[in-house]
Structure formats: C-alpha cells, structure tokens
Amino acid sequence: SAVISQKPSRDICQRGTSLTIQCQVDSQVTMMFWYRQQPGQSLTLIATANQGSEATYESGFVIDKFPISRPNLTFSTLTVSNMSPEDSSIYLCSVDWSGRYGYTFGSGTRLTVV
Amino acid sequence: AQSVTQLGSHVSVSEGALVLLRCNYSSSVPPYLFWYVQYPNQGLQLLLKYTTGATLVKGINGFEAEFKKSETSFHLTKPSAHMSDAAEYFCAVSALSGGYNKLIFGAGTRLAVHP
C-alpha cells in the first residue's frame, strides 16, 4: 500500500493565523482526500484534490477557509485559514492508492487553536 | 445517498471474550464497505473491506466481517479480544459523488478491553 507522510504532526496556533499541512505520498495517485476529525467525532470529508484541477469541496467547507493545492501526483497541501478555536481538530489526508478502494490515511495533524 | 450507522458508541468486553461491533448501512447501489481502526494519537488503519465476491471478509489482527445484504449490515467480529484491541473503530461506505468515490464514515465505536 501507499505510504503517506503528513506534516506537521501537531501544532498549536494563535487564532487569526493560518497553518498549511503537507501530505506526501510515495507513489502517484489520482485523487487525494482531506478529512477533518473534530474532538471525539468521526471523520468528515473536507475536499477532494485532483491533480491539475481545482479541489472539490463538500457542503459546509469553502475554498477561502480551506485552500488546497495539488501541484503533482504525489503531493498536496491543505491550509486552514484565519483560524479560530473551532478549527481545533485532527486533519488527515487520504489516498486511494490502488484505484480499487485501497484507501490509506496519513497519521494526521493535530491542530489546537488558542 | 449512502450512510452508515454504528450502534453503540462505546463497547466494553473482557479479554478473551467475543468482540462484536455493529454497522448498518444505507445505499441505493451495491455498497463497498470498510472497517478502520484508530489507535490513540494515530491515523486510520484499514482492518478489512468488502467490495465484491465472498460476503465473509477476513482482515488483519483476527478480525472479520460479514456483508449481509438482507440486513444491510456489516458487523465486525473477533472471537477473542486482546488488550491491544482497545481503540476506536470506524465503519465506512464508499459513495460515488461527482464522478469519484469517497468514504462516508460512521460515528465510530470505542472498544475497551478489560482484564
């Protein structure tokens, strides 16, 4: 399966600032997915990033708040902009490395906004 | 639209006892179903998945799940719990949306294993 490196693993940020999370995959993948896991909650899909096109956002998530880049087939970034304490969550990237429902997840970025 | 319901947010078993975590799904098309485990402060690890074929699916760490279309269920079982099984377990269904497949997760079940 694919190996995903996600950075940073955790961060504490001041409200009003922005944090960019990086996701690096050891193989080329078409789709990369970004999820949010709020404290004690399940995972919610933020957006899907396809190389060469704009990301597709789920209901309740907007590009101004969560801009995503996908410059090539092995890398993506998610930025959490103008952060507030409500953004404190774990953010995870995921790929379908095999194209046959082999969804793999990064270890996540634990974000605390103070 | 596809959805997943996990019955029981917390399950507690004794070491050596049967583990049964319940998952029911709703899908208008043949579903692809998954179970993931999340250990504290870690990402998600795939336990097993059902796509097509045999309805009894065996996964890692001794877990298995059976796809029952008539019951719209995909319950996760393990014959004998181990202390190391204590974790959060998520059931998920793959949903086709906007031309691609994405995972829809259940709320999760926290499994506690006591001596």
pLDDT digits (tens, 9 = 90+) for A79-94: 999 999 999 999 999 9
Residue A100 has pLDDT above 80, yes or no: no
Confidence of residue A98 (pLDDT cuts 50, 70, 90): low
Q: Identify the pLDDT of residue A51.
A: 83
Nearest-Cα distance to chain B for A13, in Å, is 19
- B42, B100, B103 member nearest A103 (Cβ): B103
Q: Identify the pLDDT of residue B62.
A: 96
Q: Identify the pLDDT of residue A54.
A: 86
SS (H, E, C) chain B: CCEEEEECCEEEEECCCCEEEEEEEECCCCCEEEEEEECCCCCEEEEEEECCCCCEEECHHHCEEEEECCCCEEEEEECCCCHHHCEEEEEEEEEEECCEEEEEECCCEEEEEEC
Q: Percentage of chain A surpassing pLDDT 90?
A: 78
| B62 part of contact set with chain A, CB < 8 Å | no
Residue B21 has pLDDT above 80, yes or no: yes
Enter the tokens of residue A47: 């957006």
Compute the distance between CA of residue A102 and CA of residue A113 in angstroms, rounded to an integer: 32
**Is the distance from CB of B9 to CB of B21 less than 8 angstroms?**
no
| A75 part of contact set with chain B, CB < 8 Å | no
* DSSP tally for chain A: helices H, then strands E: 0, 11
- B42, B101, B105 member nearest A43 (Cβ): B105
Q: Which tens digits make up the pLDDT trace of B32-49?
A: 999 999 998 788 999 999
DSSP string, A31-59: EEEEEEE-TT--EEEEEEEETTS--EEPT
Which residue reads 């269920």 in tokens? B73
Which chain B residue has its CA at the smallest distance from A100's CA? B51
| A38 part of contact set with chain B, CB < 8 Å | no
Nearest-Cα distance to chain B for A16, in Å, is 26
Beta-carbon contacts below 8 Å between A and B: 51
Compute the distance between CA of residue A109 and CA of residue B3 in angstroms, rounded to an integer: 26
Q: Who's near A66: CB < 8 A, 6+ residues apart?
A: A34, A46, A47, A57, A78, A79, A80, A81
Q: Which tens digits make up the pLDDT trace of A29-70?
A: 888 999 999 988 899 999 999 888 889 999 999 999 999 999
